[in-house]
Amino acid sequence: MEDTKIVDLYLERDESAISHTSEKYGKRLNNIAQSIVEDNFTSEECVNDTYMQAWNLIPPNEPRTYLFSFLGRITRHIALDFCRRKNAEKRYANYCELTSEIESSIPGSLSIDEIIDEMELVNSINKFLSGLTLEQQNIFVRRYWYFDSVESISKRYGFSQSKVKTTLFRLRENLKTHLEKGGFGR
Amino acid sequence: MKANDLLEAIGKIDSRFIDNAAKAKTSVINRKSLAIIIAAAGALIVAAFVIKIAIQEPKAIETRETTLVLEPTEVGADTNDFAINSSSVIYRGTGFSEEEIYNLIYEDQDFIASAIAYEYDCFGQELRIFLDGFNHVTFGEENVIDRDFLTLPVCLNNEVVGFVELFKVDGEITYSLRLGGETWNNINEALNYGEVSFAYLGFGELAIAPDNRVFDITTGASSLLSDDVDWYSVIHTDSNSYSAENFDVEYDRNNGVMDTETFECPPYISVFALDSIYVDECRNLISEGELETVTNLDNPIVRYQSMPGNIEYFRIVDENYEILLGDDEYCYSVTFTTTADAVLGPITYYIDMNGTIFGSAYRE
């Protein structure tokens, strides 16, 4: 079913919207959650919570042209939030790896809560991505949006793992510089 | 948690980036298929180019302005102080030992050479991978030379055609290859000025010549910087500069092509790319034949050499087979050193331009 029709079902408060969403995007959403939380049961919970939140958020939102990214954002948020809350009890290897990697992109004194509005940060990241080549954009987004492993990215695009690692390293360095220049630090 | 917040923010990026990344996918293809695809693509490009030339009027060359944002700065009185934007150049990382560099390149030379040969269709030609690389300066609030990034130039026919970029993270060394595009023309043009210093500026890569001419090696744009600051000297250090002489690049200055008698070349590994499929076939011949006692099948030496004389090799192919030689009557040779029967000497196979193994050297 087309995204716009699925969104119509949400707007009409038709519960079949959820089954259609699950049918079309369930597997991909589960992949995103699984990349972070690393167990089937929890990732299924994250995806089910995603459907619940989507039900509550549509309307007022009408993501007819970006339904997957809309749902994916929710899944990411739920999975990240889950790890953040549970991290004290259990170490999630992928989550630790990702946060440790992305930590290097954070300018020295950046304190997001105190200093900036999150949307400004998002806009700045959008601007950063716009300045990249398509290849760089895809590598960055696959790693930090979809949470793909380096191995998976290298297979997807036919690059060596070292190329992916090198590219990510440079992109993180450049993101840090970009954020600094944008006033998100020091 | 800061990192988590940043990941959350990335989660809200524009959906077009997400869609692009979802769509883009390449399938893994084997090298033989790759060679066929490259050959087919090359033929199409040539055909398209010929057609384009035929139907288009000559077009004026467009010039582009660079958008360099190097700000003039007051360099300290101390001439050894190479300050940029009022910040000193600092070093980071532990760097690479000569042995580490050599081992990495030596072990992977066949793959590197093959990758380059696919890109430039230069199978059999000599490629030089220089082991004495350079770092770049990264301009920013701090101007950093990262010792854990090392760029090794690769030269073909006295021109730079690619970089092997070494990269160290958590003590582990990896590398990537940078090939293709117009970058190399731009680098070679910059090297016409003799020595250049390299720098990163944002996403751009710059080569700065001694006369303050700056080349954007990604776009090819170039311009002269203000004379207020001698940028070349300011960022020039041993580890971020390279010269045409170092590269063994032919360059045209007042004295024309350099004098090769007086110049000392930095260390390099000379490799001859041969499609690894043929090397594998040579290995198979050894494994399947009577020479199975030979155990050392790794790292064969591949050469592009003159055709051996009739009494120097044993012909494997049918006598009706017409051996196809390259320019100057050259063919490839693949030589395996031996262990178990080393007394007989190395094993060498000869391969023609069709990729057919047509003979083997006598061993006695």
Q: Residue A149 in 3-state DSSP?
A: coil
**Nearby residues of B229 by Cβ (< 8 Å), 6 or more positions away:** B70, B72, B73, B75
Q: How far is A152 from chain B (nearest CA, A)?
A: 11
Q: Which residue has the higher pLDDT, B108 or B231?
A: B108
Supply the mean pLDDT for chain A: 80
Q: What integer pLDDT is reported at residue B359 of this predicted model?
A: 92
Interface test with A, best of B1, B2, B7 (most A CBs within 10 A): B7
pLDDT over 90 for what percent of chain B?
1
Chain A residues touching residue B136 (CB < 8 angstroms): none
Closest-CA residue of B relative to A85 is: B1
State the average pLDDT over residues A54-80: 85
In the predicted model, what is the mean pLDDT of residues B54-62?
Answer: 31
| B69/A contact by beta carbon, under 8 A | no
Q: How far off is chain B from A16, nearest CA to CA, in Å?
A: 25
Does residue B181 sit at the A interface (CB-CB below 8 Å)?
no
pLDDT confidence tier of residue B358, bands split at 50, 70 and 90? very high
Contact A84 B1 (CB under 8 A): yes
pLDDT number for residue B25: 53
Chain B: residue whose CA lies nearest to A107: B2
The residue behind tokens 């060359």 is: B61
Winning range, highest mean pLDDT, from A3-12, A78-87, B71-80, B206-215: A3-12
Q: What is the pLDDT of residue B342?
A: 60
Cβ contact, residue pair A122, B13, below 8 Å: yes
Identify the band that residue A133 occupies on the pLDDT scale cut at 50, 70 and 90: confident
Q: Find the mean pLDDT for residues B94-121.
A: 82
Q: What's the pLDDT score for residue B142?
A: 66
Q: Which residues of chain A have a CB within 8 Å of the CB of B20?
A: 134, 137-138, 141
Q: Are B155 and B116 in contact (CB under 8 A)?
A: no
3-class secondary-structure state, position A159? coil
Distance from CA of A77 to the nearest CA of B (A): 6
Chains A and B: how many Cβ contacts under 8 Å?
Answer: 135
- The 8-class DSSP code of residue A108 comes to T
Check residue B81 and give its pLDDT: 32
Range from B41-45, B54-58, B291-295, B342-346 that averages highest in pLDDT: B342-346
Whether residue B8 and residue A77 make contact (CB cut-off 8 A), yes or no, is: yes
Measured distance CA(A161)–CA(A150) in Å, rounded = 6
Q: Kindly report the pTM of this predicted structure.
A: 0.43
Residues 12-51 of A with CB under 8 A from B: none
Question: The dihedral of CA B283, B288, B291, B293: what is its sign?
Answer: positive
What average pLDDT does chain B have?
68
Among A2-6, A44-48, B140-144, name the one with the lowest average pLDDT.
Answer: B140-144
Gyration radius (Cα) of chain A, Å:
18
A140 against B192, higher pLDDT: A140
Confidence of residue B83 (pLDDT cuts 50, 70, 90): very low
* Average of per-residue pLDDT across B42-66: 35
- pLDDT category, B279, cuts 50, 70, 90? confident
A94 touches chain B (CB under 8 A): no
- Residue B2, pLDDT > 70, answer no
Helix H or strand E encompassing A152: helix A150-157
High-pLDDT (> 70) share of chain B, %: 60
Interchain proximity B28–A158, CB inside 8 Å: yes
Residue A185 is predicted with a pLDDT of 61
Judged by a CB distance cut-off of 8 A, whether residue A10 touches chain B is no
- Work out the pLDDT band at B228, boundaries 50, 70, 90: low
Whether the ipTM is more than 0.90: the answer is no
Beta carbons of A113 and B21 less than 8 Å apart: no
In chain A, which residue's Cα lies nearest the Cα of B174?
Answer: A162
Confirm or reject contact between B177 and chain A (CB < 8 A): yes
φ/ψ of residue A158, rounded to 5: 75, 25
For the cut 60, the answer to whether the pLDDT of residue B244 exceeds it is: no
Least confident of A20-24, A37-41, B37-41, B106-110: B37-41
Among candidate residues B181, B67, B75, B14, the one with its CA nearest the CA of residue A70: B14
For residue B350, pLDDT over 90 is answered with: yes
Q: Considering only the beta carbons, identify the residue of B14, B18, B25 that sits closest to A72.
A: B18
Name the 3-class secondary structure at A64: coil
Give which of A69, A78, A155 to mutate to test B binding, by max B Cβ within 10 Å.
A69
Interface membership of B171 toward A (CB under 8 Å): no
Using the beta-carbon criterion (under 8 Å), do B24 and A157 form an inter-chain contact? yes
| Whole-number pLDDT of residue B354 | 77
pLDDT bin (cut points 50, 70, 90) of residue B77 is very low
Cβ–Cβ below 8 Å for A102 and B7? yes
Find residue B11's DSSP bridge partners: none
Mean pLDDT of B56-84: 33
B23 at A interface, C-beta within 8 A = no
pLDDT greater at residue A116 or residue B211? B211
Q: Confidence class of residue B41 from pLDDT cuts 50, 70 and 90? A: very low
- Which residues of chain B are within 8 Å of residue A161 when distances are taken between CB atoms? 174
Nearest to B167 among A132, A146, A166 (CB): A166
The whole-number pLDDT of residue B241 equals 66
Q: What is the mean pLDDT of residues B255-275?
A: 56
